[in-house]
C-alpha cells in the first residue's frame, strides 16, 4: 500500500457514485464525447478508470507510478488530447473533494486527494511523453530516409544537423543521460547560412531559435525535478517550434508560422500567456513606443490573501480562483491586448494604445467581476476573492524607460496598492 496516501481508503463508499457522476458529465460534454465512437466506448473507459482507481488504493508507490504511466500511454493511443484527459480527472477530483467535506479527517483526506490527483496528472503526462517521443523517433527516421530526395545540398545538410540534434534530445530524455545545453553547433551552422533568406524571414527564424534554446533549458530543468506536468507542454511547444524551423528551410510563409506558434506559450489553467513570454511582448511594445510613439499601459494584478484561500479551502479552490481570474482578464481586454500569468497568484496585462483613464476602467471592471463571483467550497461554505492592482502608462516620449525600469515601476505601484490595505488600485 502507498505510504503517501493514508486516507484515500475513506473514499471507498463513494467510488460507485463518483464514477456514475463522472460518466453522466462526460456524456453531457460535447467536446469530450467527440473523441469516442459511442456511449458504450465511454462506459468501457469509465469502467477501466474505476478499476484503476480501486486497485490503486492498495498499490505501492512504485506500482502507482508504473500504472498511471501506462494509463497515460493508453489514453494517448485513444487519441484523447492530454488537456481533455485532465478535464476528466478534474471532474473526479471535484466530486471526491466535495464528498470529503462531510467525513472524519476531512482536511487530511482533502490533502491526500489533491496530492493523489497531482500524481495522476504527472505520471499520465509521462505516459503521453513516452508515446510522443516514440512517434517523434519514427518521424526522425522518416526524415533521414526522405532527405536523399532533397535537391538543395545546403538545405539537406541543415536539416540533417537539426534532426540529429533533436534525436539527441529524445535520447537524453529516454536514457536519463546529461545533455549539453551550451553546445549548439547545429544552431550556429544553420544561422551562419541564413544569407539565402530575406531579412524579415531571417529575423523571425532567429526568434524561433531563441525560443528553442529557452524551451530546451526549461525542459531539462523540470526533467531533473521529475515534474512531468511542466515537461509535457514544454516538449510539445519545443517540437512544434522545431518542426517549423524545418518547414521554414523551404517556403513557408511567416504569417502561417506565426499563427501556428501563437498558442504554444499558454498557461493551461488560466488560458493566459506564461511568464516566459511577458518580457518578449513588453520589449516589442516598448520598441513600438520608441519608433512610432504608440502609448501603452502595463498592469500587475495580485490575489489578496491567496495563501489563506489555499489553507482554508484547499489548493483545488485556489486553482478555481486562478482559473476565474484568467477568464475575467480575457473577457475584459481587447483582442489587441495580452494577458499573462507571471507567478503563482500574480498576473500581468499589456494594454496597447491605452491611456491612464482607459486602463483604470479596465482594471476596475476586472476587479469588480472577480469581487462579486461566489466560489462554492461545499454546500455550507463559500468565499469571495479580491485583488490588488498596480499599473503604469507609458505616454511621455521624452522619458523612454527600459524594460526593467517599466517592470520596477509597475511592481512599485502594486506594492503601494498592497500597502494601502489591499483590494486597491494604484497607478502613475
Please count the other Cβ atoms lying within 10 Å of the Cβ belonging to residue 293.
Answer: 11
Main-chain dihedrals φ then ψ at residue 397, nearest 5 degrees: -70, -15
Gyration radius from the chain CA atoms: 24
pLDDT-based confidence at 356, cuts 50/70/90?
very high
* Predicted confidence (pLDDT) at residue 247 exceeds the cutoff of 70: no
CATH architecture of 265-428: 2-Layer Sandwich (3.30)
* Predicted confidence (pLDDT) at residue 222 exceeds the cutoff of 80: no
With 0-12 CB in 10 A as exposed, 13-18 as middle and 19+ as buried, what is 127?
buried
CA-closest candidate to residue 253, choices 196, 204, 311: 204
- CB-CB contact of 95 with 117 (8 Å): no
Q: Please indicate whether the domains covering 8-130 and 265-428 agree at the CATH topology level.
A: no
More confident residue, 25 or 302: 302
* Predicted confidence (pLDDT) at residue 120 exceeds the cutoff of 60: yes
379 DSSP assignment = S
pLDDT-based confidence at 152, cuts 50/70/90?
very low
More confident residue, 195 or 35: 35
* Predicted confidence (pLDDT) at residue 48 exceeds the cutoff of 60: yes
pLDDT at position 201: 56
- Give the Å distances, CA to CA, from 367 to 147, 315, 394, 424, 425: 55, 22, 22, 9, 9
User: Which residues lie below 8 Å from residue 118, measured CB to CB, with a gap of 6+?
Assistant: 229
**DSSP-derived pairing of the beta strands 382-383 and 375-376:** antiparallel
State the average pLDDT over residues 161-181: 74
Domain ranges for the chain: 8-130, 265-428
pLDDT-based confidence at 223, cuts 50/70/90?
confident
* Predicted confidence (pLDDT) at residue 16 exceeds the cutoff of 80: yes
Alpha-carbon distance 101 to 120, whole Å? 22
Please count the other Cβ atoms lying within 10 Å of the Cβ belonging to residue 37.
Answer: 7
Lowest mean pLDDT among 48-52, 349-353, 382-386, 396-400: 396-400
pLDDT-based confidence at 250, cuts 50/70/90?
very low
pLDDT at position 278: 86
pLDDT at position 256: 44
Strand order in the sheet with 425-427: 266-267, 272-274, 338-341, 346-352, 296-303, 387-394, 425-427
CATH architecture of 8-130: Orthogonal Bundle (1.10)
- CB-CB contact of 346 with 301 (8 Å): yes
Give the best-scoring range by mean pLDDT among 186-190, 201-205, 251-255, 287-291.
Answer: 287-291
Give the best-scoring range by mean pLDDT among 78-87, 157-166, 190-199, 269-278.
Answer: 269-278
- CB-CB contact of 298 with 348 (8 Å): yes
Amino acid at each position: 500500500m502507498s505510504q503517501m496516501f493514508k486516507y484515500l481508503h475513506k473514499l471507498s463508499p463513494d467510488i460507485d457514485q463518483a464514477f456514475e457522476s463522472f460518466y453522466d458529465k462526460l456524456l453531457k460534454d460535447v467536446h469530450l464525447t467527440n473523441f469516442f465512437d459511442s456511449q458504450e466506448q465511454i462506459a468501457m473507459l469509465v469502467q477501466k478508470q474505476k478499476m484503476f482507481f480501486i486497485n490503486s488504493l492498495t498499490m505501492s508507490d512504485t506500482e502507482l507510478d508504473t500504472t498511471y504511466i501506462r494509463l497515460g500511454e493508453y489514453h494517448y493511443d485513444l487519441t484523447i488530447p492530454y488537456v481533455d484527459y485532465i478535464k476528466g480527472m478534474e471532474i473526479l477530483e471535484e466530486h471526491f473533494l466535495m464528498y470529503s467535506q462531510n467525513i472524519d479527517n476531512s482536511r487530511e483526506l482533502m490533502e491526500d486527494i489533491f496530492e493523489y490527483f497531482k500524481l495522476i496528472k504527472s505520471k499520465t503526462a509521462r505516459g503521453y511523453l513516452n508515446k510522443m517521443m516514440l512517434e517523434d523517433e519514427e518521424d526522425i527516421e522518416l526524415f533521414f530516409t526522405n532527405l536523399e530526395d532533397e535537391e538543395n545540398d545546403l538545405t539537406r545538410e541543415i536539416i540533417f544537423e537539426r534532426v540529429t540534434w533533436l534525436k539527441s534530445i529524445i535520447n537524453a530524455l529516454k536514457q536519463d543521460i546529461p545533455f549539453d545545453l551550451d553546445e549548439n553547433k547545429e544552431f550556429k551552422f544553420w544561422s551562419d547560412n541564413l544569407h539565402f533568406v530575406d531579412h524579415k524571414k531571417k529575423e523571425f527564424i532567429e526568434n524561433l531559435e531563441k525560443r528553442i534554446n529557452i524551451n530546451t533549458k526549461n525542459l531539462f530543468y523540470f526533467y531533473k525535478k521529475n515534474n512531468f506536468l511542466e515537461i509535457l507542454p514544454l516538449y510539445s511547444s519545443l517540437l512544434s517550434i522545431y518542426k517549423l524551423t524545418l518547414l521554414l528551410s523551404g517556403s513557408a510563409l511567416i504569417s502561417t508560422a506565426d499563427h501556428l506558434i501563437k498558442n504554444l506559450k499558454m498557461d493551461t489553467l488560466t488560458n493566459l500567456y506564461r511568464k516566459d513570454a511577458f518580457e518578449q511582448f513588453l520589449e516589442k511594445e516598448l520598441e513600438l513606443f520608441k519608433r512610432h510613439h504608440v502609448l501603452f499601459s502595463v498592469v500587475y494584478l495580485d490575489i489578496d490573501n491567496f495563501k489563506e484561500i489555499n489553507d482554508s479551502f484547499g489548493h483545488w479552490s485556489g486553482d478555481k480562483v486562478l482559473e476565474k481570474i484568467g477568464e475575467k482578464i480575457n473577457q475584459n481586454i481587447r483582442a489587441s491586448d495580452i494577458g499573462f500569468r507571471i507567478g503563482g497568484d500574480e498576473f500581468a496585462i499589456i494594454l496597447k494604445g491605452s491611456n491612464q483613464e482607459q486602463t483604470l476602467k479596465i482594471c476596475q471592471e476586472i476587479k469588480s467581476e472577480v469581487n462579486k463571483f461566489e466560489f462554492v467550497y461545499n454546500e455550507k461554505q463559500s468565499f469571495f476573492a479580491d485583488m490588488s492592482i498596480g499599473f503604469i502608462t507609458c505616454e511621455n516620449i521624452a522619458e523612454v524607460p527600459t524594460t526593467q525600469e517599466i517592470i520596477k515601476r509597475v511592481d512599485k505601484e502594486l506594492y503601494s496598492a498592497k500597502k494601502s490595505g489591499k483590494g486597491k488600485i494604484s497607478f502613475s
